[in-house]
Amino acid sequence: MTTPIRIGIVGAGNNTRTRHIPGLQAIPGVELVSVCNRSRESSQRVADAFNIPKVYDDWRALVTADDTDAIVIGTWPYMHRDMACAVLEAGKHVMCEARMAMNAAEARAMLAVSQAHPNQIAQIVPSPFTFRVDRTIQDLLAAGYLGELYAMNIRGGAGNFADPQAPLHWRQQQSLSGYNIQNMGIWYEAALRWVGPVERVVARGRIFTAQRLNSETGAIDTVDVPDHVDIIADLPNGAQATYNFSAVCGLAPGAGAWLFGSEGTLHVDQDNRKLFGGRRGDTALQEIPIAPDKEGKWRVEEEFIAAIRGEEPIRLTPFIDGVKYMEFTEAVHRSLTSGEIVSLPQR
Beta bridge partners of 264: 279
Cα torsion 325, 123, 17, 168 to 10°: value is -30
pLDDT digits (tens, 9 = 90+) for 300-340: 999 999 999 999 999 999 999 999 999 999 999 999 999 99
CB atoms within 10 A of CB 276: 18
Kindly give, in sequence order, each residue whose CB lies less than 8 Å from that of residue 224, ignoring residues fewer than 6 positions away: 172, 173, 174, 207
Kindly give, in sequence order, each residue whose CB lies less than 8 Å from that of residue 2, ignoring residues fewer than 6 positions away: 28, 29, 309
Please tell me the predicted confidence (pLDDT) of residue 329. 97
User: Which amino acid makes up residue 216?
Assistant: E
Cα-based distances in Å from 39 to 43, 57, 148, 262, 289: 6, 7, 54, 56, 47
* C-alpha dihedral sign at 13, 15, 17, 20: negative
Cα-based distances in Å from 129 to 197, 250, 272: 18, 21, 10
CATH superfamily for 5-127+299-314 is NAD(P)-binding Rossmann-like Domain (3.40.50.720)
Please tell me the predicted confidence (pLDDT) of residue 160. 83
- Give the count of alpha carbons within 13 A of 273, CB side only: 9
pLDDT digits (tens, 9 = 90+) for 248-271: 999 998 899 999 999 999 999 999
Please tell me the predicted confidence (pLDDT) of residue 241. 98
Kindly give, in sequence order, each residue whose CB lies less than 8 Å from that of residue 261, ignoring residues fewer than 6 positions away: 145, 146, 147, 148, 149, 150
The DSSP annotation for 205-272 comes to EE-S--EEE-TTT-SEEE--S-SEEEEEEE-TTS-EEEEEEES--TTPPPSEEEEEESSEEEEEETTT
Q: How would residue 346 be classed by pLDDT, with cut points 50, 70 and 90?
A: low
Please tell me the predicted confidence (pLDDT) of residue 158. 73
- Give the count of alpha carbons within 13 A of 260, CB side only: 10
| Whole-angstrom distance, CA of residue 290 vs CA of residue 70 | 35
Please tell me the predicted confidence (pLDDT) of residue 1. 59
pLDDT above 90 covers what percent of the chain?
95
pLDDT digits (tens, 9 = 90+) for 196-254: 999 999 999 999 999 999 999 999 999 999 999 999 999 999 999 999 999 999 999 88
Largest CA distance in the chain: 64
Question: Shortest CA distance to 233 belongs to which of 111, 329, 122?
Answer: 329
The CATH number that domain 131-297+326-343 falls under is 3.30.360.10
pLDDT digits (tens, 9 = 90+) for 125-135: 999 999 999 99
Cα-based distances in Å from 346 to 23, 87, 226, 230: 36, 27, 21, 20
Helix (H, G, I), strand (E, B) or coil at 166: coil
What is the helix (H) or strand (E) element at residue 135, kind and residue range?
helix 131-142
Taking residues 265-279, report their average pLDDT: 96
User: 0.75 cut: is pTM over it?
Assistant: yes
CB atoms within 10 A of CB 53: 11
- Kindly list the domain boundaries of the chain, sorted by start residue: 5-127+299-314, 131-297+326-343
Kindly give, in sequence order, each residue whose CB lies less than 8 Å from that of residue 15, ignoring residues fewer than 6 positions away: 74, 97, 125
Cα-based distances in Å from 224 to 12, 65, 119: 26, 38, 39
Based on its alpha-carbon atoms, the radius of gyration of the chain, rounded to whole angstroms, reads: 21
**Is-contact 314 122, C-beta < 8 A?**
yes
